Amino acid sequence: MKVIVTGGAGFIGSAFVRMAIGETDMHVVNLDKLTYAGNLENLTSIEKDPRYRFVEGDICDAALVDSLMAEEKPDAMVHFAAESHVDRSILSPEPVIQTNLRGTFTLLEGARKHRLKRFVHVSTDEVYGSLEAPLEADENYPLNPSSPYSASKAGSDLLARSYFVTYKMPVLITRASNNYGPYHFPEKLIPLMISNALEDRPLPVYGDGQQVRDWLYVDDHCRGILAVLRGGREGQIYNIGGNRSLPNLDVVHKVLAITGKPESLIQYVTDRPGHDRRYALSSEKLMRETSWRPLMDFETGLGRTIDWYRTNSAWVARVRSGAYRTYYEKNYGNREAVSS
């Protein structure tokens, strides 16, 4: 099977490419624009493999998508490429609209023209919005996104589904919970807290820190996507969760315990606008239809992730230089320290 992977230089996309090349016989063409979040260092372990090709380019570039599909004649596409961060989408919504909506549309059109046999659209549980405990979203739960990021993902999900309904295109949609693991850009909660803790910097907790997320180890997510790619039913949506819900503050305490750093590093700061209180989803459908299960226990996965950040301090230093500092100042500089 030959697969075009979009966004394969990012956090989850690169884990998927490493898995597809390392553990299957797939051929992978990675189409990635190399935004601030795309990093070819994430792929050095497989970059020389004859089954792998990298193409630098924008998923919004219809001519490029068309010529790549004509040239490569892929069997499938797994679409990860996105502007993926809620805080950045709040500071500047335009890129999420462009890449997540326009880009997904461009790929769907390319897939339609070239009669692609399988299109897996990678989405998120954030499209369901905030759920009161003890509710869990199944795939039929109404969409109720809160941020420009999650609204753009919900829009692209609906567009992808419309290509199945209208054009009978073989579209499948996955919605995963919060991922964590190695190579995670240090703007999201877990990698930010780990890299700040390792450098004895303050850990900025939004609001009261009691917001709940379900945590999924990135390789469990990638195995779930492989299961959907191989065995999912066309036109279906599949939730992929880690079955491990935790308030943010508990996650931060675990990071401090494993890194051996003091609680005094925690700094409560002004909350994120429109902050979703709780995400929760059921992966019952994927488990019923395939042999997929989330395998990584959270404490083990977090320990491994922290070890990776300790060992890869040069990777962290490189991605935290330059434009990252400007972003950090913009996002955190205006946040008042509520207490510490």
On the CB side of 103, CA atoms within 13 Å amount to 24
| CA distance linking residue 7 with residue 38, whole number of Å | 7
| Helix residue spans in 206-332 (DSSP H) | 218-231, 248-259, 284-289, 298-311, 313-319, 323-332
**In 71-155, which ranges are E strands?**
76-79, 118-124
Q: Which residue type occupies 14?
A: S
Please tell me which residue in 58, 87, 126, 136 is annotated as part of the active site.
126
Q: Nearest to ligand NAD by Cβ — which residue?
A: 10
284 catalytic residue (yes or no): no
Please tell me which residue in 52, 128, 141, 149 is annotated as part of the active site.
149
125 catalytic residue (yes or no): yes
126 catalytic residue (yes or no): yes
Cα 141 versus chain centre, distance: 21
Applying CB under 6 A, does 37 fall inside the site for ligand NAD?
yes
Maximum CA pair distance of the chain? 57
Applying CB under 6 A, does 4 fall inside the site for ligand TYD?
no
Applying CB under 6 A, does 58 fall inside the site for ligand NAD?
yes
Continuous segment of H or E residues that includes residue 88: helix 86-91
- In this structure, how many other beta carbons lie within 10 angstroms of the beta carbon of residue 271? 15
Q: Is the CB of 106 or the CB of 178 nearer to ligand TYD?
A: 178
Q: State which of residues 13, 148, 170, 181 lies at the interface with ligand NAD (CB under 6 A).
A: 13
Applying CB under 6 A, does 81 fall inside the site for ligand NAD?
yes
| CA distance linking residue 40 with residue 84, whole number of Å | 18
Q: State which of residues 20, 21, 192, 194 lies at the interface with ligand TYD (CB under 6 A).
A: 192
- Subset of 219-278 contacting ligand TYD (CB under 6 A): 248, 272
Q: State which of residues 122, 131, 197, 237 lies at the interface with ligand NAD (CB under 6 A).
A: 122
Applying CB under 6 A, does 206 fall inside the site for ligand TYD?
yes
Minimum CB distance to ligand NAD, residue 174 (Å): 8
Applying CB under 6 A, does 216 fall inside the site for ligand TYD?
no
Q: Nearest to ligand TYD by Cβ — which residue?
A: 188
- Distances 59 to 101, 108, 149, 173, 333 between C-alpha atoms, Å: 10, 10, 17, 18, 32
- Chain residues in the site for ligand TYD (CB under 6 A): 86, 126, 178, 188-189, 192, 204-206, 211, 213, 248, 272
- Chain residues in the site for ligand NAD (CB under 6 A): 6-7, 9-13, 32-35, 37-38, 58-60, 80-84, 99, 103, 122, 124, 153, 176, 178-179, 185
